Amino acid sequence: MPWHETHPVNERLKFVAAALTGRASMTELCLKFGISRKTGYQLVDRYERDGPDALRERSRAPRVHPNQTTPEMEAAILRVRKAHPTWGSKKILVILERDLSLDDLPARSTVDAVLKRAGLVRPRHRRARHHPSGPPVVEAHAPNDVWSIDYKGHFRVGDGTRCNPLTVNDVCSRASLECRAMVAPKLEDVQHRLETVFWQRGLPRCVLSDNGPPFGSVGLGGLSRLGVWLLRLGVKPLFIEPGHPEQNGRHERFHETLKAETASPPRASIRAQQSAFTGFQRSYNEHRPHEALDMRVPADVYTPSTRSMPFTVREHEYASDFEVRRVRREVSMKWAGRFVFVGSAIAHEFVGLEAVDGGSWHVHLGPMRLGVLHERSRTVLPLSEDD
């Protein structure tokens, strides 16, 4: 008779008990219980070796998996993850291949499973992706074409001091060029940090930022005093559109990584926070693979600029057909016997006036055109799309 579905263990015990009495042959017992002779011998052997518990239902899963991750590999995966808590499986695999010279690497799904078993990953809710509303403000085809600069949102360190991280990145190579824990976003402090980076790395072609102080202003060309200083160095200031941080999305993503690895939680003091920033920069530039760089690190791509920081900042030069005027301390220039307001950011600078049709003049500050001066109204207006 076949096993009763509700009590298979009891039926096996009855079979083994009958077999051990020796009153019937194995063939007869197997026919009676509806099992094969092979199964019958296996049941008796299991009972004699391990007792009644051996007759319970056993898992059909294989005991040995040919592709099972070795304990050594799991330990290596967990070591990399411990050193870099925010890294995922793709970056971990790059490090295993690069630093350990391992040829037989596990699949990404295997690494994810190892991290999950160790309780190191949590399921994340899918978030809606916000795509840029337009093309990048400017393309970066080589290192030092475009640097991006920004303040990460402020936070307070352990002793209560307010920290405003100032960050400067190379857009092409993603290299972190400056990551400084600052107490307040003052123009003089930002200019000093930029000057230090310029001496170390050379000059970029452009610097991209938002249009808030101290980077930009509501004046002509969006220039602040910092932007005017950059122009005199031969560096063009560029600004994203107001309310569109996604136009500097790479820098925003960098700030997310910076916060996760250095400020969650914040350090005890500004000095300790700066130490964390410095260590993060080194790891980010020299060890962290980047998908946009074909899993290379920024240090493999970035090279210093060939344009050195000058010892003396020169005045702007204009073509011979330009009218040149100096903006006075009162933030205006003299034109046709009257004063014309230009803006506080351009005080003490020489501007160039280029004649155009219709009794108007284009107002330039070095290579940058700021606005249009109309002779009749004697006012400088911002540029329009037609200018």
153 shares a domain with 289: yes
- The span from the CA of 334 to the CA of 355, in Å, is 16
116: left (phi over 0), alpha (psi -120 to 50) or beta: alpha
Residues 6+ apart with CB under 8 A from 309: 195, 198, 199, 202, 203, 233
Domain assignment of residue 2, yes or no: no
Range of the domain at 345: 323-382
294: domain CATH number is 3.30.420.10
- The span from the CA of 327 to the CA of 329, in Å, is 7
| Cβ atoms 203, 209 nearer than 8 A | no
- The span from the CA of 91 to the CA of 81, in Å, is 10
CB atoms within 10 A of CB 188: 10
Buried/exposed 365-384: b ≥16 CB within 10 Å, e otherwise: bbebbbbbbeeeeeebeeee
77 shares a domain with 51: no
> Hey, what amino acid is at 328?
R
Domain assignment of residue 60, yes or no: no
pLDDT in 10s for each residue of the chain, 387 residues: 455 455 778 888 888 888 888 788 888 888 888 888 888 888 888 888 887 777 777 666 665 555 677 888 888 888 888 888 888 888 888 888 877 666 678 888 888 888 888 887 776 666 555 444 455 677 889 999 999 999 988 899 999 999 999 999 999 999 999 999 998 778 999 999 999 999 999 999 999 998 888 898 888 888 999 999 999 999 999 998 877 777 888 898 899 999 999 998 999 999 999 999 999 999 999 999 988 889 999 999 999 999 999 988 888 889 999 999 999 887 888 887 788 888 888 888 999 999 887 778 999 998 899 889 887 778 888 876 555
Q: How far is CA 135 from CA 70, 245, 246, in A?
A: 47, 13, 10
Q: What is the pTM of this model?
A: 0.74
Domain assignment of residue 235, yes or no: yes
362 shares a domain with 281: no
295 shares a domain with 151: yes
Domain assignment of residue 134, yes or no: no
Count of domains for the chain: 4
77: domain CATH number is 1.10.10
199 shares a domain with 86: no
235 shares a domain with 210: yes
Tell me the chain's radius of gyration from C-alpha atoms.
36
